[in-house]
Amino acid sequence: TSDQILLFDFLRQVHQRNPEVLSVCVADATGNVLAHHDLKELGEKIEVPLGLNFLKRGEPLCQESFSQQICVETVSMGKETHFVQAIFDRTRMRREINEALNPLKMRILLDSGICILIGLMFSLFLVRRITDPIQALGQFAARVGKGHLESTLSVSRKDELGDLAAELNHMAVQLKETDQMKQDFVSSVTHEFRSPLSAVLVYLDLLRKDPDIMLEEKAANYIEIIAQNLGRLGRFISDLLDIAKLEKGKMEVTRVPTTLNSAWKDSLVLMRSLARRKGIEIHYQLPQTELPILGDPDRLRQILTNLLSNAIKFTPEGGRIEVFTEEQEGHYLTRVQDNGRGIPPDQKPKLFEKFHQVPESRKNIKGPKGTGLGLVIVKHLVESHEGTIWVESEPGKGSTFFFTLSKNGKESKHD
């Protein structure tokens, strides 16, 4: 009939247009095939699915295996009830679904990647916006802690970090003002001390040398003790004045043609008397020839005097100090070596800081303990002569200070 022809044609088109459909047919309630996409299957008998009689119209019943899916649904044809059976290729269905979803997956991955990238960039921006100012604050605090009180922070933010930067700037200004007041006070006090101290030393010297004044031995000893302590006080005042000049950049170093031999010998003569009081021997070795140098004679003597004073202070009674100078290309190398207690490794980087003294060594010093200014001044004077200074030491084996001085340099001009 025409209805059967239309049904066959419809089933064939369903099969052709849907490659995932392996088979599609219409059968009666007993399983006889009434219509099939393949005419060869007409009249064949198929298995009637269990529960077919209980199916409601529009509710298909499906059974699945790994490779196939069989779906049936009841249809009414006149007074009789038949069913439609379709067999699907599940493998092909999965492949086609995956092929259809692949572009969507790629789009999702691409969009996700873009979102993640944008999120990372935004996070990095936020992190930098927060951490950069914090790092700047930390660096500023470190500079101020090292004494660079002229440092300032640029304040462009209007948030809490901006307020903190403004407060730190204010703190630095106050510290600078306080430091300047301290420097002015120290400079003023030391100058005020220096004049009367010099007068006292002059009169003490007159008392000791005036042939018309006969002093008892006990009184002479007292005067000698007074003179020694006033000498210590004078050196302390000189160090404070030098530090004040150094901090203001006004420490004068006048370089003229001279020789190291004379400067070193003057220092050695001066310090040997101090060393003898502790039973310390000072041995020195200088080249036989003259060692010409463009330098400040007074400052050169101060370099070796401070280093020898430091060595005597930390060398035990009966110890030994050696001074050795050799000529090298473009400069002179000098070492001052003692056999004292030595310096712990963690203390060496701090030796050339103002007022710093090695705690362990300070406890074992008998007599004057110093101010911690001598090495700071020495370092500045060495560098003023285009040289460098460093120390090598092991605890219990003494210390050796090395320093170089440039032979030549720029001669100071005088008006």
Q: Domain ends where: 247, 265, 294?
A: 247
Number of folded domains in the chain?
3
Residues 265 and 216 in one domain: no
Span 364-391, average pLDDT: 81
Region of poorest pLDDT, from 12-16, 98-102, 225-229: 225-229
Q: Is the pLDDT of residue 57 over 70?
A: no
Q: Is residue 71 assigned to a domain? A: yes
Shared domain check, 261 and 322: yes
**Is residue 145 included in any domain, yes or no?**
no
Query: Residue 218: pLDDT band by 50, 70, 90 thresholds?
Result: confident
* 22: amino acid identity, one letter: L
Q: CATH number of the domain that 8 lies in?
A: 3.30.450.20
pLDDT band at 56 (very low <50, low <70, confident <90, very high): low
User: Which pairing describes strands 68-77 and 80-89: parallel, antiparallel, or unpaired?
Assistant: antiparallel
CA 8 to chain centroid: 84
Q: Let me know if residue 222 belongs to a domain.
A: yes
**Per-residue confidence band for 379, with pLDDT thresholds at 50, 70 and 90:** very high
Tell me the C-alpha distance between 190 and 213, whole Å: 32
**Strands, sheet with 68-77, edge to edge from the N-terminal-most edge strand:** 33-36, 21-27, 80-89, 68-77, 61-64
Higher-confidence position of 191 and 401: 401
pLDDT tops 60 at residue 362: no
The CATH number that applies at residue 214 is 1.10.287.130
398 Cβ contact partners less than 8 Å away, ≥ 6 residues apart: 315, 337, 338, 339, 340, 341, 342
Amino acid 158: pLDDT:
75
Last residue of a domain, one of 205, 227, 247: 247
Nearest to 267 by CA among 222, 311, 213: 311
Which band of pLDDT confidence, cut at 50, 70 and 90, is reported for residue 114?
Answer: very high
Answer yes or no: do 186 and 305 share one domain.
no
Range 103-110 average pLDDT:
90
Q: What is the mean pLDDT of residues 208-232?
A: 77
Quick check: is 373 in a domain? yes
Look up the pTM and report it: 0.55
Residue indicated by tokens 């310390």: 280
Q: Which of 206-215, 245-254, 290-299 has the highest mean pLDDT?
A: 290-299
Q: Indicate whether 262 and 179 sit together in one domain.
A: no
pLDDT at residue 322 is higher than 90: yes
Which amino acid does the sequence have at 2? S
Residue 351 pLDDT > 70: yes
173-187 per-position pLDDT tens digit? 888 777 777 777 767
Mean pLDDT across the stretch 308-325?
Answer: 90
Over the chain, what is the mean pLDDT?
A: 82
With 90 as the cut, is the pLDDT of residue 356 above it? Answer: no
- For 358-410, strand residue ranges (E) read 389-393, 399-406
In-domain check, residue 78: yes
Amino acid found at 122:
F
Average pLDDT over residues 78-100: 84
Instruction: Tell me the mean pLDDT in the region 46-65.
Output: 73
Q: Are residues 351 and 335 in the same domain?
A: yes
Residue 22, SS3 per DSSP: strand
Q: 5 has which bridge partners?
A: none
The last residue of one of the domains, among 226, 247, 268, is 247
CA 137/CA 132 separation, integer angstroms = 9
CATH number at residue 327: 3.30.565.10
Minimum mean pLDDT range among 181-185, 322-326, 379-383:
181-185
* Residue 148 in this model has a pLDDT that exceeds 90: no
Residue 413 lies in a domain: no
Lowest mean pLDDT, pick from 5-14, 143-152, 279-288, 370-379 = 143-152
User: What is the secondary structure of 262-317 as a DSSP string?
Assistant: HHHHHHHHHHHHHHHHTT-EEEEE--SS--EEEE-HHHHHHHHHHHHHHHHHHSPT
Over 90: is that where the pLDDT of 325 sits? yes
Question: Does residue 415 register a pLDDT over 50?
Answer: no
Q: Are residues 231 and 302 in the same domain?
A: no
Beta-strand pair 256-259/292-295: antiparallel
pLDDT at 1: 63
**16 and 33 inside one domain:** yes
What digits encode the pLDDT tens for the residues 12-51?
A: 898 888 888 889 999 888 888 888 888 888 888 888 776 6
275 and 366 share one domain: yes
* 47: in domain: yes
Q: Does the pLDDT of residue 278 top 50, yes or no?
A: yes
Tell whether 273 and 376 lie within a shared domain. Answer: yes
Instruction: Judge if 333 and 366 occupy the same domain.
Output: yes
Residue 159: is its pLDDT beyond 70? yes
- What pLDDT shows up at residue 414? 47
Which DSSP letter does residue 52 get?
A: G
Residues 367, 274 within the same domain: yes
Do residue 259 and residue 349 come from a single domain? yes
Residue 333, CA atoms < 13 Å, CB-side half-sphere: 8
56: containing domain:
2-93
